[in-house]
Amino acid sequence: METFIKERRKATLRNPILIGGFPGLGSVGQITITYLRKKLKAKTLADLYSPHFPHHVVVSSSGRVRLPRAQFYLWRNPQEGGRDLILVTGDSQAQSYEGQYAVVDAILNYAGQRGAKTVITIGGFRIKSGSSERKVVSISSNRTLLKKMLTAGAERSPVGNPVVGFAGLALGLARFRRMRAACLLGETVGYMPDPKAAKAVLNVLKQFLGVALDLSSLDEEIERSGEVFERMVDVQLEMENLAKERADIEGRKITYIS
């Protein structure tokens, strides 16, 4: 078996933009694309299967099973002269270096065949602790595109910052296809799914795309994730205190013979 795409809908697109995000740091990419898909009511376009995805099946609520996959979705822009969107996300990223190249190459090839010349990838940018506001950093293979991202509210990424997986590799491979590409990374501690980071990214995307998008329904998820994070911090502090107490006890047991 090789990586392949099963098309589920024939469509002619208007100068589409490919926007993709997969599970990763804080699940920022996956949350962002899933929210976009639901709010824009994007239609399923195609499925991508690959032997580089995890070797298991996914069980649905009805008891049916399927292989892990990535899915493409289509949103038609209702504005005259507006650009359509191809959204892509999946159950998992490829599990090997070779698999990452194979899957990303297949995604770019499919989008390119449908006229996409601009690629935007979404991911997470690790920070040490949570904050009330989450920044979004951006990198790009195209100066004009990067400037637009900065104007939309992103900040320039620190020099030398590595971007791994789909979010970074798609930028590098897009250049060989003469596609301009940019990456948006939402700040996250990365311990758990981070809807706050995804909301920050979505705010930048709204400005960049000029699309009306209600983000209020993310607030409840953000509140829940904040409560979970606080409990995790409490547990971590408790474990650190126990470790310190244990070290003190062990230290007092040491005797010196002269």
Give the start-to-end residue ranges of the domains of the chain.
Answer: 4-212, 216-258
> How many angstroms separate the CA atoms of 206 and 214, rounded?
10
Q: Indicate the average pLDDT of the chain.
A: 88
| pLDDT attached to residue 160 | 74
Question: Model confidence over 101-146: pLDDT tens digits?
Answer: 999 999 999 999 999 999 999 999 998 776 668 899 999 989 999 9
Q: Which is nearest to 154 in space by CA: 217, 118, 211, 197?
A: 197
Is the pLDDT assigned to residue 255 strictly greater than 50?
no
Q: Do 155 and 217 contact (CB within 8 A), yes or no?
A: no
| pLDDT attached to residue 172 | 94
Q: Do 204 and 28 contact (CB within 8 A), yes or no?
A: no
**What is the dihedral sign for C-alpha 48, 196, 150, 24?**
negative
Fold topology of 4-212: Rossmann fold (3.40.50)
**How many C-alpha atoms does 150 have within 13 Å on its Cβ side?**
11
| pLDDT attached to residue 239 | 62
| pLDDT attached to residue 240 | 61
Place of tokens 């920044």: 135
Beta carbons within 10 angstroms of residue 138's beta carbon = 25
- Cross-strand partners of 89: 71
Least confident of 77-81, 142-146, 236-240: 236-240
Position 169 confidence tier, pLDDT thresholds 50, 70, 90 = very high
Q: How far is CA 45 from CA 57, 97, 139, 165, in A?
A: 21, 27, 28, 23
